[in-house]
Amino acid sequence: MAGSVSRLVQGGVTSAQGFVASGVHCGVKPQKKDLALVFSRVPASAAGVFTQNKVKAAPVLLDMERIRSGRGQAVVLNSGNANACTAEQGMRDAREMAQLAAHGLGIAEELVYVCSTGVIGRPLPMEALRRGVPEAVRQLGPDGGSAAEAIMTTDTVAKTAAVQVAIGGQVITIGGMTKGAAMIHPQMATTLTVLTTDAAVAPPALHAALRRAADLSYNRITVDGDQSTNDTILLLANGEAGAPEIAEAGEALDAFQAALTACATDLARMIPRDAEGGTKLIEVTVRGAQTDEDAYRAARAVALSPLVKTAIYGKSPNWGRIFVAVGASGAEVQPERMSVRIGPVLVAERGGPAGEAETLEELVRYMAGDTVTVVVDLGLGKAETTMWTSDLTEQYVKENAHYIT
């Protein structure tokens, strides 16, 4: 039997067997933790997905080169500085970060991956990292919380999750940590994400599973439509649970895929929940589309619309803005067949208003909560998708107007 997925309430990047982590302050940022290390006691299969922005940070370029081997054992991550748009010096610094970690851990440099997040266009303060990486090695332990804290930038909370599933008679665990609060857009968001599992998965199967999970999670969130230079999701699978290796399609891979997608989705939803200046998580579902692509286009248009996001912030059930976004999305649309529901209230049907005046008060009360659902039915087919976004507030503008001043 494939087994069922169950959430580990306290789960994180060290929940899987054989993984340890640490988070320290070394001076990249003035005070808060700014350097994290995740380490597998044994070499692991590795997979990664990266930003599609053509301007890629040095750590992304290094990791894309190394991920071709399908092997890995450690990830070293810093916050406070993106090491992006730093020319040849940036590549030298990224490689030195890996060398420092490899030396401290006693492993091959090629098994170390590097991630950075923070301000773009400034060289890494390497003296701080030369002090910090050995300290991160010394502090490795079973608690992944400090590592999740160390990768935060404008995040207000650390983001961790884990799931378990039975495969081959053994319980395997998938855990992870993520960060991100703005510069979030499909085809990867401003995130550094490390996922770990004690399942044994061959690299080709691991890569395919991660790509599928990312498409259904990190490629379904948006905050502001901007796409980072540093987006990275890395997955290490060390086989320490003792279950048979997963190498091809079948029940075992299906169970692993479901658990991985559940973990990635849980983590990804935390990002718009914690969006810069945000007060609400908005879940946008488009159903009744002719094709999956149409459903995605329509949902993305609604989730990205500043007019929709500001209306929801203001508790204004201005469903006309939703119609406008869908109509401009490029999806096949017949307005007379569309309906829109905000939370429990049907606000539009057959291309026009629905409901009575008394439902307005109910809707305003609903929209005062911290989660708002929007369901658009195009009435044309069976395709459906869901995206997650945040509301757009004055605080978002204030935070980003003074990000480096």
DSSP notation for 292-336? HHHHHHHHHHHHH-HHHHHHHHTT---THHHHHHHHTSSS---GG
pLDDT digits (tens, 9 = 90+) for 309-339: 999 999 998 999 999 999 999 999 999 999 9
Measure the CA dihedral 64/70/75/77, to 10°.
Answer: 20
pLDDT digits (tens, 9 = 90+) for 197-231: 999 999 999 999 999 999 999 999 987 666 788 99
Residues 6 or more apart whose Cβ sits within 8 Å of residue 381 = 288, 289, 290, 291, 294
Domains and CATH numbers, the chain: 6-273 (3.60.70.12), 281-401 (3.10.20.340)
DSSP 13: T
List the one residue out of 283, 347, 274 whose CA is nearest residue 309: 283
- Write down the pLDDT at residue 53: 86
Name the residue type at position 155. D
- Profile the chain (405 residues) by mean pLDDT over runs of 10 residues: 55 96 97 97 97 92 98 98 96 98 98 96 97 98 96 92 92 94 58 96 98 93 78 97 94 95 94 83 97 96 94 92 97 96 93 76 91 97 96 80 63
Catalytic machinery residues? 190
- Write down the pLDDT at residue 180: 80
- Write down the pLDDT at residue 361: 83
- Write down the pLDDT at residue 22: 98
- Write down the pLDDT at residue 1: 39
